Amino acid sequence: MMSINDIQDSIIEEFAVYDEWLDKYEYLIDLGRDLPLAEEADKTEGNLIDGCQSRVWLVCRRESDGRLYFRADSDAIITKGIISLLVRIFDGQTPADILAADLYFIDAIGLKENLSPTRAGGLAAMIKRIREIAEQYGEG
Amino acid sequence: MNFPQQIRAEFPILDRRVDSRPLVYFDNAATSQRPSCVINLQQELCSGHNANIHRAVHTLSFEATGYYEAGRRAVQKFINAASADEIVLTSGATMSINLVAECLARGGFIGCGDGILLTEAEHHSNIVPWQIVCEHTGSHLEVVPVAAGRNGANDGSVDMAAFCAALQRGVRMVAINHVSNILGVENPIKEMVAAAHGAGVPVLIDGAQGIAHRRVDVQALDCDFYVFSGHKIYAPTGIGVLYAKREWQHRLPPFMGGGDMVGKVSFDKTTYADPPLKFEAGTANFVAGACLRPALEFAAKVMESPAQEAHTGRLISAMNEALASVDGLWVAASDARKRIPLWSFTIDGVHPLDAATLMDKFGVALRSGHMCAEPIVDRIGGGSMLRASLMPYNTLEEVEIFRETLLRTVKMLRK
Ligand SMILES: Cc1ncc(COP(=O)(O)O)c(C=O)c1O
């Protein structure tokens, strides 16, 4: 299992080959297409994160190894590309590691503007939800 | 005036770049840009005449009050109100509507079982204040449909038969938009006011979108209330207008209590100032209020120019063509006869948020989402749409950049 920071570093490396924002977004769009979708049955109100302009569904389960596994989907493809990065980082991590994580990759790959609340892409809300889930399992 | 080059030069912000590309600002319905005459006055007031208005006897306060009251008179002139006393300055259209709704309810003009008539295409600012009144008083909303959607008529017109029928069902207030911020279609407000008055019902017009694109004469319209925000017509944010007919100024109770709105205050009994100050409690945004004057004088000059009219007509045709050139693009109220330069649309297979995100990276500012009018956007746009809204300072070249960028964006997202 790679650590959260190892995964962040490899994402930063992958994005480093693109100097043009256009290529970056094309890559994100491709990632969005590849994202292992949450099952239709998982797209419930309860799994919906209020992201204002795009809808994001997040499903988490904890395995017997005590680690958390995530699936996510969105109706907007750029949002989906970005959340696929988050899923990649957090999938299979422990609640404690998730809570301790410093997400520096977002800034480093130049996607910070997607974090602002007005972007309304649900990214900030999704990170918040992941932390809440980790907190719940961390305590329990 | 020479369009659009000459007025464009008045807007410093239009020269800026976004990510090294020239800015194409097509989100004017959310807020318009400010011309130099407004920016300069803001600067001048802050550096030379800053003081609290209406209160002190010192020079700065006299000057500041003078500028602020000149703003009020400019509004009176712009909408042809009978008197400057009929102009209440608020923080924006939203506050103006809340003021009217709350004061009508407290004054007993709306009560249990009464109807409040709205159209289906209102902005949240012209829905929620009335819902709050409904909760307090036991009144209810009467919502009249508009002809918009993929199936059936799509000219954005209000169903006038339903409007007139609803007036006969115990409606005590009509609150309708002049132009909807989703449809961009001018409503026949004069006819609607006449119909409502025929049934003895007062009318508030939400002019937030109409004011920058149509000349308004409140005496000819005979509406009871007309509201708008300064920031959608070249003025700064934080200032808005409530035109209320003289008789309503006296009938309505005060809105908020505080300084400036009182006659004499004691713990036994307080008397109120005469309108409009009766509705203006607390320190006003005097800089923004003063800026209404240059902003509205500028607007009047622009709106009265035949060259502007011809230019805006060309912008509208070019936008209609640009939108028609995109495969799978659907425009709300595409068959409208009286359109302001505002279009809301959806594109098959493309999420509005994705499109607006990429368009922004190309320098084109659009709006996406429910745009504060969830009921109509839910019904006709599946909860989210794109919107392009122009002002006379926009150019045909910008429309062409918009078209090329939109085609490119759609291609990237549909790949
Ligand atoms: C039709 C309409 N009404 C009301 C408003 C509210 O204006 P403000 O937010 O400036 O108060 C808007 C602004 O978007 C609008 O478009």
pLDDT in tens, A72-106: 888 889 888 888 999 999 999 999 999 999 999 98
Dump pLDDT digits (tens) for B342-400: 999 999 999 999 999 999 999 999 999 999 999 999 999 999 999 999 999 999 999 99
B17 touches chain A (CB under 8 A): no
Q: Are B60 and B49 in contact (CB under 8 A)?
A: yes
Q: Are residues B135 and B271 in the same domain?
A: yes
- Average pLDDT on B159-176 reads 97
Higher pLDDT, B1 or B229: B229
Q: Looking at chain B, how many residues does it have?
A: 415
Q: Are residues B167 and B218 in the same domain?
A: yes
- Best of B28, B228, B229 for a ligand 1 pocket test (most atoms within 8 Å of beta carbon): B229
Shortest CA distance from A21: residue in chain B: B361
Smallest Cα distance from A77 to chain B, Å: 7
Q: Are residues B22 and B89 in the same domain?
A: no
The whole-angstrom separation of Cα B155 and Cα A2 is 57
**ipTM computed for the complex:** 0.89
In order of B99, B193, B241, B390, the CA distances from B225 in angstroms are 11, 11, 10, 26
Asked if residue A51 has pLDDT above 70, the reply is: no
Q: Are residues B283 and B323 in the same domain?
A: no
Give the number of domains in chain B: 2
Residue nearest to atom 16 of ligand 1 (CA): B181
Residue B35 placed within a domain: no
| CB–CB contact B354 A76 (8 Å) | yes
| CB–CB contact B353 A25 (8 Å) | no
CATH number reported for the structural domain that contains residue B321 in this entry: 3.90.1150.10
Q: B299, B318, B347: which is the final residue of a domain?
A: B299
Q: B299, B328, B360: which is the final residue of a domain?
A: B299
Residue B36 placed within a domain: no
* Burial class of residue B225 (count of CB atoms within 10 Å of its CB; 0-12, 13-18, 19+): buried
In order of A31, B269, B325, B326, B349, the CA distances from B322 in angstroms are 30, 64, 5, 7, 18
The whole-angstrom separation of Cα B227 and Cα B211 is 9
Centre of ligand 1 to C-alpha B302, Å, is 22
Shortest CA distance from A82: residue in chain B: B354
Q: Is the preceding omega at residue B276 within 30 degrees of 0, hence cis?
A: yes
b/e sequence B6-31, b meaning 16+ C-beta within 10 Å:
ebbebbeebeeeeeeeebbbbbbbee
Number of cross-chain residue pairs from A and B with Cβ atoms under 8 Å apart: 39
Please, which pLDDT band fits residue A115 given cuts at 50, 70 and 90? low
Residue B8 placed within a domain: yes
Q: B276, B299, B322: which is the final residue of a domain?
A: B299
Q: Are residues B144 and B184 in the same domain?
A: yes
Q: Are residues B234 and B171 in the same domain?
A: yes
Shortest CA distance from A52: residue in chain B: B369
Among candidates A22, A26, A120 on the partner chain, residue whose Cβ is nearest the Cβ of B369:
A120
Q: Are residues B24 and B48 in the same domain?
A: no
Higher pLDDT, A121 or B176: B176
Smallest Cα distance from A22 to chain B, Å: 8
Dump pLDDT digits (tens) for B54-113: 888 899 999 999 999 999 999 999 999 999 999 999 999 999 999 999 999 999 999 999
Q: Are residues B204 and B342 in the same domain?
A: no
Q: Are residues B98 and B26 in the same domain?
A: no
| CB–CB contact B357 A78 (8 Å) | yes
CATH number reported for the structural domain that contains residue B261 in this entry: 3.40.640.10
| CB–CB contact B353 A121 (8 Å) | yes
B413 touches chain A (CB under 8 A): yes
The residues of A assigned a catalytic role are: 52
Q: Are residues B315 and B207 in the same domain?
A: no
Q: How much of chain B exceeds pLDDT 90, in percent?
A: 94
Q: Are residues B267 and B197 in the same domain?
A: yes
Q: Pocket residues for ligand 1 (CB within 6 Å)? A: B 92-94, 123, 125-126, 177, 181, 206, 208-209, 229, 372
Q: Are residues B240 and B175 in the same domain?
A: yes
B31 touches chain A (CB under 8 A): no
Domain that holds residue B135: 41-299
CATH T-level assignment (fold) for domain A4-139: Sufe protein. Chain: A (3.90.1010)
